[in-house]
Amino acid sequence: MINGNVSHWWTDLGTPVPRPGVEGDLDVDVAIVGGGYTGLWTAYYLKQAKPDARIAVLEARFCGFGASGRNGGWLTNSVTGGINQYVSTHGREAARDFQLAMNATVDEVIRVAADEGIDADIVKGGDHEVAYAPAQLARLEGMLADDESWDGIGGWQRLDAVAAKERINVAGTLGALWSPHTARIHPAKLARGLSEAVAKLGVEIYEGTRVEEIRPGEAVTATGTVRAGVVIRATEGFTAGLRGLHREWLPMNSSLIATEPLNEAQWQHIGWEGREVLGDFAHVYMYAQRTADDRIAFGGRGVPYRWNSATDDDGRTQPVTAGSLRDLLVRFFPVLDGVDIDHLWSGTLGVPRDWAATVTFDPATGLGHAGGYVGTGVATTNLAGRTLRDLVLGRNTELNALPWVGHRVRRWEPEPLRWIATRVIYGAYGAADCAEYGGRATTSPLARVADLVSGRSH
């Protein structure tokens, strides 16, 4: 089993050789800090809209090194934290517009990939969310009722146990929800293809260039200062490493395993012919996909937070995480008992204090940023890139009116409070899941807090 090497996705493609970095001071119109999906989508749409703009992407390692090249490959319409949080502040119509924009964003990513010739193993098979304990089934029903209160804009359809297992044969299935607004992708193929498309447009990409500080008009690196009228921060889970932003977003680690390619008999037992992405209604929820080469990529929380917002070890993950994810995989699919795990890795998410993503730009300072996706970024980054384009260019568009634009939240608490809080919350998660799987209801206040903090409260 390979532990680390960034991710299975990059092992599959081959880790890229970084492009040359910044050497000396540089003057551009727009500097984008971060070469993941957010930075690349922003550069893509800005350069298309203003071809004569000199745009530079500054990436510490190589484009797609972070969560963009390590995630579970869910191109989904999920609004981070759900749309209900915006009703009291922006009204029901604005919240609805946000969900509809996310629905359309899934198709926009698919469109651009086709137009640019990016083969990212995209299959729009939908999102299959399974319940295998009575408490999970209750949350399933609550989620469906909530979507129906919005006239079904999330597209969720109820499947009984038989219909659910005909799609994906998860052991103990009691029921499932399915929505059409999700596609499976190969994350690194999308990141690589998008960086090539951006470079082809004439955007300057500097890799191996770590930005240490962002301030109005400047992105400061160890090898030179990049001066720009507009500086966009697109650093997601790595934001804590920038000067002055250590408590802005909490870096949350999520881990995955990839099995060996499964044989025909195993797939006949499991099903999964539609290539849906797979999730569940546990508190410590999992996420999975059937890959193009017939593996299962299966993810969940390992060690969710490292002391003092430490962020990265090139994907390396504690071996105990591989065991816990493998155990859950076999619980889902007993036919895979004894299957080999070929790869284990982790990625870092950016988690805001209120679990709500944001996109913002201040014309007075020329500073903007987007992020805090908490795992929904494969699609949300595209919406962020288009929105930042409009904000930077001063356009008055429907995207700029969405309720996440300009959203601000207080910073996370200093240590040791961050570390204690994450351990307590995820301890409550695990205890609640064990109780529910054993048939016991969870009424602990900590379990309810965990649901609210995780955005999984339906």
* pLDDT-based confidence at residue 252 (cuts at 50, 70, 90): confident
What is the percentage of the chain residues whose pLDDT exceeds 90?
A: 78
Evaluate the CA torsion angle 427, 430, 434, 437 in order and state its sign: positive
Calculate the alpha carbon distances from 327 to 74, 202, 257 in Å: 22, 47, 11
pLDDT at 423: 66
Long-range CB contact pairs, 151-154, < 8 A, 24+: 153/96, 153/99, 153/100, 153/103, 154/77, 154/99, 154/179, 154/181
Which of 90-99, 156-165, 391-400, 405-414 bottoms out in mean pLDDT, i.e. has the lowest?
405-414
In a domain, 458, yes or no: yes
Measured distance CA(42)–CA(38) in Å, rounded? 6
Q: Is the pLDDT of residue 176 over 60?
A: yes
Q: Containing domain of residue 444, as a range?
A: 413-458
Q: Which residue has the higher pLDDT, 303 or 412?
A: 412
In a domain, 173, yes or no: no
**pTM higher than 0.75 for the full model?**
yes
Measured distance CA(247)–CA(331) in Å, rounded? 37
Q: Is the pLDDT of residue 448 over 50?
A: no
pLDDT at 31: 98
pLDDT at 1: 86
Which of 172-176, 215-219, 441-445 bottoms out in mean pLDDT, i.e. has the lowest?
441-445
* pLDDT-based confidence at residue 414 (cuts at 50, 70, 90): confident
pLDDT at 312: 64
What is the percentage of the chain residues whose pLDDT exceeds 70?
A: 89
Task: List the one residue out of 172, 86, 164 whose CA is nearest residue 127.
Answer: 164
For the segment 46-100, what is each residue's pLDDT rounded down to a tens digit?
999 999 999 999 999 999 999 999 999 999 999 999 999 999 999 999 999 999 9
* pLDDT-based confidence at residue 361 (cuts at 50, 70, 90): very high
In a domain, 422, yes or no: yes
Q: Is the pLDDT of residue 343 over 90?
A: yes
* pLDDT-based confidence at residue 444 (cuts at 50, 70, 90): very low
Q: Which residue has the higher pLDDT, 453 or 122?
A: 122
In a domain, 298, yes or no: no
pLDDT at 449: 42
CB-based burial label for 70 (10 Å; 0-12, 13-18, 19+): buried
Q: Is the pLDDT of residue 453 over 50?
A: no
Determine the residue type at 194: L
| CB distance 286 to 280 below 8 Å | yes
| CB distance 28 to 209 below 8 Å | no
pLDDT at 440: 62
pLDDT at 458: 29
pLDDT at 181: 98
Q: Is the pLDDT of residue 125 over 70?
A: yes
In a domain, 424, yes or no: yes
pLDDT at 313: 67
| CB distance 247 to 237 below 8 Å | no
Give the chain's domain count: 1
Q: Which residue has the higher pLDDT, 234 or 448?
A: 234
Q: Which residue has the higher pLDDT, 214 or 322?
A: 214
In a domain, 345, yes or no: no
In a domain, 437, yes or no: yes
pLDDT at 253: 84
> Whole-angstrom distance between the N-terminal and C-terminal Cα of the chain?
37
The pair of structure tokens assigned to 352 is 């805001």
pLDDT at 302: 62
Calculate the alpha carbon distances from 220 to 49, 207, 434 in Å: 27, 14, 48
| CB distance 342 to 262 below 8 Å | no
pLDDT at 166: 98
Q: Is the pLDDT of residue 227 over 70?
A: yes
* pLDDT-based confidence at residue 434 (cuts at 50, 70, 90): confident
pLDDT at 76: 98
- Average pLDDT for residues 439-452, to the nearest whole number? 47
In a domain, 418, yes or no: yes
